[in-house]
């Protein structure tokens, strides 16, 4: 399978840090809590206008990935904006898609909060000749032009199951703390984690999956409820950066610290203190800045007519050449495991 090589070589780690440093200085400053469209539209001039719509604003994962997007758009002389809802809901995203369509933007880059609910709005955008790239969380494949997948889904599932199995000694009750119940990315990973547990870990029992909606407080409360309801719980997998950080915060001051293992997908900056204080041993993620960077270059290639679908290739700046694969999906690379030994090498 894919993740024999879960820890990057020193050289690759340096490259990852270097690329993140590049991301940090690139682009406009449209991250954070800007939820206003900057208007303008994509009609005038040659600059390719790209609108990034994350699942929610104020999520450090998307701040990093969209900084990568802004860096790429600046590199190719385009015009970047980020808009999106405060809460990770599809309804919140639809209005921003509609506005971007009315403004005649050239491309949308969206992390979808639901596989179906955005499709009408996306369809109108595409009818208006706007290129639509999904990244991080896909819609149904026929809704959009291209999906930029952060890593192979089976690999993302396996790395998390391997980590929890290692951390609880291969046996006992575990639970999953996910993001929104309709999130395509988390749901795909959860389905594959269930398969992986059933196939290779017969002594681990998944007792419950709960949803924190990528909301810090809801995720914190859901962690408390899980521990209360399952007194024999040995571990929690949280395949969302918001969820794992909230669960770590809860565990770090509870009696369960060091007794209930926690792993999943997190950002090093959010997880650092919990790795240092012994709440968390190891967790995984990919390079979010590269994900946004690649998505922006794919959007540009679509707008320019360089790619239409499977089999077509495009240049993605410092990341090199990528080819569109099955279901019009482009794969970024492998996930990476962070632990006490390497976490200080990263700043995102």
Q: Which positions touch ligand RAM (CB under 6 A)?
A: 55, 59, 61, 111, 136-137, 179, 185, 214, 240-242, 265
Query: Would you say 77 and 106 are in contact if contact means Cβ atoms under 8 Å apart?
Result: no
Contact 101, 125 (CB under 8 A): yes
Tokens of 279: 């709440």
Bridge partners for 210 per DSSP? 177
Tokens 């571990």 belong to residue: 235
- Residue 80, classed as helix, strand or coil, is strand
Closest to ligand RAM by CB, 175 vs 242, is: 242
Residue closer to ligand RAM, measured from CB, 185 or 263: 185
Q: Which is nearer to ligand RAM, 291 or 307 (CB)?
A: 291
Q: Shortest distance, CB of residue 315 to ligand RAM, whole angstroms? A: 25
CB of 265 to ligand RAM, least distance (A): 4
| Nearest-approach distance from CB 128 to ligand RAM, in angstroms | 27
Q: By three-state DSSP, how is residue 325 classified?
A: strand
CB of 61 to ligand RAM, least distance (A): 3
Question: CB of 277: closest distance to ligand RAM in angstroms?
Answer: 22
Q: How far apart (Å, rounded) are the C-alpha atoms in residues 160 and 164?
A: 6
From residue 68, give the alpha-carbon distance in Å to each of 54, 80, 292, 318.
Answer: 13, 11, 5, 11
- Of residues 88 and 303, the one with the C-beta less far from ligand RAM: 88
Q: 119: closest CA among 88, 92, 141?
A: 141
Report the Cα 60 to chain-centroid distance in Å: 10
By beta-carbon proximity to ligand RAM, the closer residue of 167 and 270 is 270
Q: Which residue is nearest to ligand RAM (CB)?
A: 61
Question: Which of 61, 297 has the CB closer to ligand RAM?
Answer: 61
Give CA–CA dist 301/169, Å, rounded.
47
Residue 96's closest CA among 76, 118, 74?
A: 118
| CB of residue 185 to ligand RAM, shortest distance in Å | 5
């Amino acid at each position: 399978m894919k993740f024999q090589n879960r820890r990057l070589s020193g050289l690759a780690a340096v490259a990852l840090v270097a690329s993140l440093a590049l991301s940090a200085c690139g682009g406009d400053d449209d991250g954070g809590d800007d939820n206003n469209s900057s208007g303008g539209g994509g009609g005038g001039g040659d600059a390719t206008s790209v609108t990034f719509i994350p699942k929610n604003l104020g999520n450090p994962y998307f701040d990093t990935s969209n900084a990568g997007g802004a860096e790429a758009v600046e590199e190719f002389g385009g015009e970047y904006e980020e808009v999106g809802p405060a809460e990770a809901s599809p309804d919140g995203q639809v209005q921003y898609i509609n506005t971007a369509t009315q403004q005649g933007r050239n491309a949308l880059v969206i992390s979808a909060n639901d596989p179906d609910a955005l499709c009408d709005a996306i369809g109108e955008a595409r009818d208006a000749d706007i290129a639509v790239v999904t990244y991080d969380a896909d819609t149904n494949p026929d809704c959009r032009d291209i999906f930029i997948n952060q890593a192979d889904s089976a690999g993302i599932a396996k790395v998390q199951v391997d980590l929890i199995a290692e951390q609880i000694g291969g046996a006992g009750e575990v639970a999953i703390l996910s993001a929104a119940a309709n999130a395509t990315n988390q749901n795909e990973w959860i389905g594959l984690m269930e398969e992986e547990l059933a196939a290779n870990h017969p002594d681990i029992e998944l007792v419950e999956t709960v949803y924190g909606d990528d909301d810090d407080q809801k995720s914190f409360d859901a962690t408390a409820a899980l521990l209360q309801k399952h007194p024999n719980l040995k571990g929690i997998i949280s395949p969302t950066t918001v969820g794992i950080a909230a669960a770590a915060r809860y565990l770090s001051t509870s009696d369960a610290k060091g007794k209930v293992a926690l792993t999943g997908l997190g950002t090093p900056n959010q997880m650092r203190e919990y790795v240092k204080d012994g709440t968390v041993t190891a967790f995984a993620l990919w390079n979010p800045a590269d994900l946004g960077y690649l998505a922006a270059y794919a959007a540009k290639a679509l707008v320019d007519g360089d790619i239409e679908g499977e089999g077509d290739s495009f240049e993605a700046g410092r990341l090199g050449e990528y080819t569109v694969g099955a279901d019009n999906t482009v794969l970024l690379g492998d996930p990476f495991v962070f632990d006490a030994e390497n976490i200080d090498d990263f700043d995102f």
